[in-house]
């Protein structure tokens, strides 16, 4: 009987080694309940920590003392477990989803006020402007698509662009990169945000983790600027069709920048000499798009477009994981109740012996 006296250390561990944009494998959610025979006098608070791709929830040592009832103890465990569920849900919801551009998806370049070009720019996709009416520099620029100058098509594309911009901005931020240079980073699919400006100097590597439909969303509070010769590269699959840059003001691509993905800028976009956008677009909602001997293509030989399957559906992944976690919590509470009852019996037995 004495061997059952003491307290219990309960550790719930969620191993986040599943892809951010795939349905969760329930076999990778492990709940470990360890019984520790040790005496102590206080209840340790919840400590939450991140380390790499792991999220650990430490529930501390549960004290069974003279002034705590079994019901109070169970409630404490329940509150902590629900806190864990809330934390997990917030992390899971930070996965990026494909931004639906609507009719704007057919435009490689779309301006709000003007579109101007110098040099032998090549646009693979449609070119348009609305509500402005000025498109200049084509030719010598080449458009492998239609030119929509303040017509109904361009007007609808701007409406859809505005909706897509707002949708992208409403996504939950997964990682705040404010103050960090994107150059030299290797990022996995998800939502990344900057409270102000974002800078790319060098190469940004996007690791698609083997999923060709991976989605990367960058929310930038003000400006996006790339230095000359900068680049966005992919490893382990992935394509620019799943990359979206929501820019709060203006974007400027430095000379010979090799960019990927669609830029959704609230104001203007400037592409300096030799800058390219592959599997993407330069879409300016209110201001101008300024170009100089550039290449912008909404397609590539290997294909570009990410599909809706790139993100977990809340109705399936969320409910599945929540159900598994709640089931584990229920098991934890039952085990805790049985063990606590044993401890109470032990203490009563000890008191009758003294």
Q: Which two tokens stand for residue 354?
A: 């003294």
pLDDT computed for residue 60 by the predictor = 40
Alpha helix stretches (DSSP H) within 39-151:
70-92
Pairwise CA distance, residues 120 & 273, whole Å: 10
Q: Are strands 122-124 and 54-62 parallel, antiparallel or unpaired?
A: unpaired
Tens-digit pLDDT profile for residues 320-333: 555 556 656 665 65
Mind listing the pLDDT tens digit for each residue in 204-260?
Answer: 999 999 998 999 999 999 999 999 999 999 999 888 899 999 999 999 999 999 999
Reply yes or no on whether the pLDDT at 311 is more than 70. Answer: no
Judged against a pLDDT cut of 60, whether residue 76 lies above it is answered with: no
Q: Say if strands 126-129 and 107-111 run parallel, antiparallel, or are unpaired.
A: parallel
């Amino acid at each position: 009987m004495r061997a059952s006296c003491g307290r219990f250390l309960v550790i719930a561990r969620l191993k986040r080694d599943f892809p951010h944009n795939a349905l969760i494998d329930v076999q990778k959610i492990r709940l470990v309940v360890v019984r520790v025979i040790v005496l102590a006098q206080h209840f340790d608070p919840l400590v939450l920590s991140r380390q790499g791709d792991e999220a650990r929830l430490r529930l501390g040592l549960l004290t069974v003392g003279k002034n705590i009832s079994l019901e109070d103890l169970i409630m404490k465990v329940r509150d902590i477990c629900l806190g864990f569920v809330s934390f997990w849900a917030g992390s899971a919801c930070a996965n990026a989803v494909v931004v639906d551009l609507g009719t704007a998806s057919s435009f490689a370049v779309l301006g709000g006020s003007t579109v101007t070009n110098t040099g032998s720019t090549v646009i693979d996709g449609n070119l348009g402007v609305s509500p402005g009416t000025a498109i200049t520099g084509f030719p010598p620029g080449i458009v492998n698509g239609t030119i929509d100058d303040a017509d109904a098509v361009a007007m609808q594309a701007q409406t859809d662009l505005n909706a897509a911009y707002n949708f992208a901005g409403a996504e939950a931020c997964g990682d705040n990169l404010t103050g960090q240079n994107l150059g030299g980073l290797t990022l996995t699919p998800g939502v990344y945000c900057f409270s102000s400006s974002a800078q790319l100097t060098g190469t940004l590597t996007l690791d698609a983790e083997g999923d060709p439909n991976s989605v990367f969303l960058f929310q930038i509070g003000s400006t996006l600027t790339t230095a000359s010769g900068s680049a966005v590269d992919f490893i382990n699959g992935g394509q620019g069709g799943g990359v979206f840059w929501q820019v709060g003001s203006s974007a400027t691509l430095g000379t010979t920048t090799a960019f990927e993905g669609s830029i959704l800028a609230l104001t203007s976009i400037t592409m300096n000499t030799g800058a390219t956008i592959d599997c993407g677009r330069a879409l300016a909602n209110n201001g101008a798009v300024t170009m100089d001997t550039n290449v912008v293509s909404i397609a590539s030989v290997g294909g570009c477009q990410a599909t809706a399957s790139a993100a977990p559906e809340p109705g399936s992944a969320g409910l599945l994981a929540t159900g598994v976690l709640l089931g584990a919590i229920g098991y934890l509470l039952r085990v805790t109740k049985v063990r606590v009852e044993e401890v109470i019996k032990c203490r009563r037995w000890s008191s009758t012996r003294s």
